Amino acid sequence: MAEVLRRFQETFRVEHGCFELGDPWLSLDGAWTHDGRLETQSSWVRVGCDVSYGGADVRMESWDAEPPPAGAPWVEAGEVAYLSGTGIVELSQEGNRSFDRLVLGPSHFLYGLRAHRVPSARDRDHEFWEDPRTEHVLLRFWPIRDVFDPVLHARPDSWEGRRPPPEPSPYRPSADWPTLRPRPAASPGGSGPAAGAADDPYRRRKDAERRVRLRIAGELNPGGAPTFSIPRRDLAAPWTAAPGLTGRVRQWQADPCGGSDDPIADRRDVSRGRAPVSAVVTVLDEEDDFLTVRDATAAEAARVIAAEQTWGRPGR
């Protein structure tokens, strides 16, 4: 039985009879499709509204499988397949973005998206029983399949314009993803507002943004794995370093034994007594020049390894 994993609700601006949503960091190329109130291409969706200019009460849900029909007063308003780069989605409209974001599930995934709306309701005097300038929309996402292909999605900049290797992709999709598992505990939101923040709009917003980031970081780490911070420059990946994505981190650490049989330690700084440490990690949060990461799961690491087998490991 399908289960809802995460929910989102925010009032957002409607202009020109629509609002949009998309991936905050990574867009995947995809064909244009349209159904009912929904129009999508690549990692972008436009949602049509009856309201030309006003607000939309937008509710989004991520499910672990195709959800059942929504009950009254919702009516279906279209269904499309949505390509997600990072597995995270936000609302957008002419440069404005929603305050919150929704974790759909794994990155590089195709999701089903079904829209529902509440039809305009009138009483016996043909008057709106609620504000006619507000659209009510429910968007439900569920995973369809893993679409990652190292040839399409992991081409290094150094290979731009060159033919990909002739070998078939070594990647084999997995069905075991942390973000598709129900999370037993509530997502952490951090502590309450900092002292003095209530009187400072800028500090209030930064504090709220921090709580959203911490919540999403928790949702990307449902097993509560240990986390650590790394400089952004230490993460090697053929895509941007952003929450939900995976890459290889390389750092130099003290080598007290003076040697190692680790096959991924392919060079040594003998003069300084240091050895390279390499690990595949998944990004949970970003702030300035630093990333909060955890060790990648087997399914997540398989993508990085497949990209390295296809194109070669960066720096080698």
What domains, with CATH codes, occur in the chain? 4-147 (2.60.34.30), 152-311 (no CATH)
Q: What is the pLDDT of residue 133?
A: 72
Contacts 24+ apart (CB under 8 A), 248-253: 248/278, 248/279, 248/280, 248/281, 248/304, 248/308, 248/313, 248/314, 249/278, 249/279, 249/280, 249/281, 249/293, 250/276, 250/277, 250/278, 250/315, 251/276, 251/277, 252/276, 252/277, 253/277
Angle formed at CA 127 by CA 126 and CA 132, multiple of 5 degrees: 125
| C-alpha triplet 222, 140, 220: angle, nearest 5° | 15
> What single string gives the DSSP state of each residue in 141-165?
EEEEEE---HHHH---GGGTTSPPP
Q: What is the pLDDT of residue 281?
A: 95
Whether 187 contacts 219, CB under 8 Å: yes
**What pLDDT does 146 receive?**
95
Q: Within 13 A of 188's CA, how many CA atoms are on the CB side?
A: 13
Which of 10, 36, 37, 196 minimizes the C-alpha distance to 97?
10
Return the pLDDT at 267.
Answer: 37
Tens of each residue's pLDDT in the chain, 316 residues: 899 999 999 999 999 999 999 999 999 999 999 999 999 998 999 999 988 888 899 999 999 999 999 988 899 999 999 999 999 999 988 778 888 999 999 999 999 999 999 887 654 444 444 556 788 999 999 999 999 998 888 877 766 666 666 667 788 888 889 899 876 655 444 444 444 555 677 788 788 888 999 999 999 999 999 999 999 999 988 888 999 999 999 866 665 555 444 433 333 343 444 555 689 999 999 998 999 999 999 999 999 999 988 887 665 4
**Cα gap 272→269, rounded to integer Å:** 6
